[in-house]
Chains A and B, each alone.
Chain A
Amino acid sequence: MSKPILEVEHLTQHFKINRKEVVHAVDDVSFTIARGQTLGLVGESGCGKSSCARSIIRIYDPTGGKILLDGEDITHMSQKELQPRRKKMQMIFQDPYASLNARMTVRDIIAEPLLAHHIVKSKEEANDYVYPILERVGLTREHAGRYAHEFSGGQRQRVGIARALVLQPELVICDEPISALDVSIQAQVVNLLRDYQEEKGLAYLFIAHDLSMVRYVSDMVGVMYLGQLVELCGAEEIYSHPLHPYTQGLLASIPVANPKLAREKQTSGIEGDLPSPVNPPSGCRFRTRCPYAKAVCAEVAPCMHEVAPGHSLACHLYD
Chain B
Amino acid sequence: MESILTVNNLKTTFYTSSGTVQAVRGISFEVGKGEIVGIVGESGSGKSVTSMSVLRLLPSTARIDPESTIVFEGTDLTALSMNQLRAIRGQKIAMVFQDPMSSLNPLIRVGKQVEEMLKIHHKELSKQLLREKVLELFRQVRIPEPEKRYNEFPHQFSGGMRQRVMIAMALANKPDLLIADEPTTALDVTIQDQILKQLRTLQRESGASIIFITHDLGVVAELCQRVLVMYGGLIMEEAPIDELFEHPLHPYTLGLLASVPSLHQDKQGRLTSIPGSPPDMTKPPEGCPFAPRCPYARQICAREQPPYVSFGEHRRSMCWLLQPDAPAENNPFRKEAAK
Interface of A toward B, CB cutoff 8 Å: 44-45, 152-155, 182-188, 190-191, 194, 209, 211-213, 215-216, 236, 239, 249-262, 269-271, 273-274
Contacts and interface: CB of A to CB of B under 8 A. Distances in A.
B271 A190 contact: yes
Given A183-B256, A254-B263, A269-B193, A45 B188 contact: yes
Contacts of A154: 277
Contacts of A262: 218, 221-222
A124 to B, nearest CB: 31
Instruction: Decide if the interface of chain A is mainly helix, strand, loop or mixed.
Output: helix
Contacts of A261: 264
A260 B243 CA distance: 11
Contacts of A249: 190
Contacts of A236: 267
A59 to B, nearest CB: 24
Nearest to A214: B261
A265 to B, nearest CB: 8
Contact of A254 (B159, B218, B241): B218
Given A191-B270, A255-B221, 10 more contacts: A185-B273, A194-B270, A215-B267, A250-B189, A253-B190, A254-B263, A257-B260, A258-B221, A258-B262, A271-B194
B215 A188 contact: no
A215 B221 contact: no
Contacts of A45: 159, 188
B267 A216 contact: yes
Contacts of B194: 269, 271
Given A188-B275, A209-B189, A257 B42 contact: no
Given A184-B259, A194-B270, A211-B263, A253 B193 contact: yes
A44 B221 contact: no
A191 B42 contact: no
B272 interface: yes
Contacts of B216: 183, 255
A166 B271 CA distance: 24
Given A183-B256, A188-B273, A212-B263, A255 B222 contact: yes
Contact of A255 (B193, B245, B272, B275): B193
Contact of B43 (A182, A239, A270, A271): A182
A111 B270 CA distance: 31
17 contacts: A182-B43, A183-B215, A184-B256, A187-B274, A188-B273, A190-B271, A194-B270, A211-B189, A211-B263, A216-B261, A253-B190, A253-B193, A256-B218, A256-B221, A256-B264, A258-B245, A260-B245
Interface string B181-212: 00000001111111011000000000000000
Contact of B218 (A186, A250, A255): A255
Contacts of A271: 194
A250 B241 contact: no
Interface residues of B, number: 44
Interface of B: 42-43, 158-161, 188-194, 196-197, 215-222, 241-242, 245, 255-257, 259-264, 267, 270-275, 277-278
B261 A212 contact: yes
B222 A274 contact: no
Contact of A187 (B245, B271, B277): B271
A155 B277 contact: yes
A250 B270 contact: no
A154 B273 CA distance: 12
Nearest to B244: A259
Given A212-B262, A256-B222, A269-B193, A182 B42 contact: yes
Contact of B245 (A184, A259, A270, A273): A259
A251 B194 CA distance: 14
Given A254-B263, A259-B241, A191 B221 contact: no
Contacts of A187: 259, 261, 271-274
Contacts of B219: 255
A77 B160 CA distance: 40
Contacts of B161: 273
B271 A257 contact: no
Contacts of A191: 270-271, 273
Nearest to A138: B275
A252 B263 CA distance: 10
A53 to B, nearest CB: 18
Contacts of A184: 42, 255-256, 259, 273-274
Given A183-B215, A185-B277, A209-B189, A257 B262 contact: yes
B264 A183 contact: no
B291 to A, nearest CB: 15
Nearest to A246: B190
A41 to B, nearest CB: 15
A261 B161 CA distance: 28
Contacts of B189: 44, 209, 211, 250, 253-255, 269
A182 B277 CA distance: 10
Nearest to A289: B190
A183 B263 contact: no
A234 B196 CA distance: 31
